[in-house]
Amino acid sequence: MLNTMRKNKERRVRAERIYDILTARAREPVFFERFGVKDSLDGRFDLVALHAWLVLERLKGDALLSQALIDTIFTGFDEALRELGAGDIGIGRRVKKLADAFYGRLQAYGAALDEAGMEAALVRNLYRGGPAPGAKAVASYVWRARAQLESWQDGEPRFGPLPDEE
């Protein structure tokens, strides 16, 4: 039993570190300044969802770590909503909406079979159907980051270089 508790704690700590890394990448100013992602709650949420998808794709063989990461992500969403003033009464409804949006984005990105498919998914989700001046560059970045993450075993995930201007 103690061994299981220790492994659960190690997994949770690892998931928190992965979450810190993916949120740091999602907050990189380049996405907002050069690639037209809206610097808003929606834009930030969408970038976290995109980077979470990249990591979760790589972790498909590790269901326990994937679940720990998802739990950590939703704890972060809950804390953010509370910081914005959401009360206990409405928090459940809001988290459910976030969960629906989050899993919808994971599904949309997972259905993209190539860069063109990813670009279309980004236009619909990251750019919310509006102007998408950086969708092609971000799609290319996603494909490169996905390849970079394929070699990730232990330690910290590395997404590779940030997107280039195109």
Average confidence (pLDDT) over 108-135? 97
Average confidence (pLDDT) over 49-69? 96
The answer to whether residue 161 sits within a structural domain is: no
Q: Which residue has the higher pLDDT, 84 or 109?
A: 109
Total domains in the chain come to 1
Average confidence (pLDDT) over 70-79? 92
Predicted pLDDT of residue 140: 96
Name the pTM for this structure: 0.91
Report the alpha-carbon distance of residue 46 to residue 98 in Å, rounded: 10
- DSSP secondary structure, 66-115, as one string: HHHHHHHHHHHHHHHHHHTT--HHHHHHHHHHHHHHHHHHHHHHHH--SH
The answer to whether residue 12 sits within a structural domain is: yes
For 97, the token pair is: 């909406």
Q: Report how far Cα 161 is from the mean position of its chain's Cα atoms.
A: 17
The answer to whether residue 52 sits within a structural domain is: yes
| Total count of residues recorded for the chain | 166
Mean pLDDT for all residues in the chain: 91
Least Cα distance to 17 among 79, 60, 65 occurs for: 65
Predicted pLDDT of residue 67: 97
Predicted pLDDT of residue 88: 65
Domain range holding 106? 2-150
The answer to whether residue 83 sits within a structural domain is: yes
Predicted pLDDT of residue 147: 95
The answer to whether residue 69 sits within a structural domain is: yes
The answer to whether residue 165 sits within a structural domain is: no
| 84: alpha, beta or left? (left if phi > 0; alpha if psi -120 to 50) | alpha
- Residues of the chain with pLDDT > 90, as a percent, come to 75
Report the alpha-carbon distance of residue 119 to residue 117 in Å, rounded: 5
Q: How far is CA 63 from CA 40, 55, 59, 85, 132, in A?
A: 31, 12, 7, 33, 34
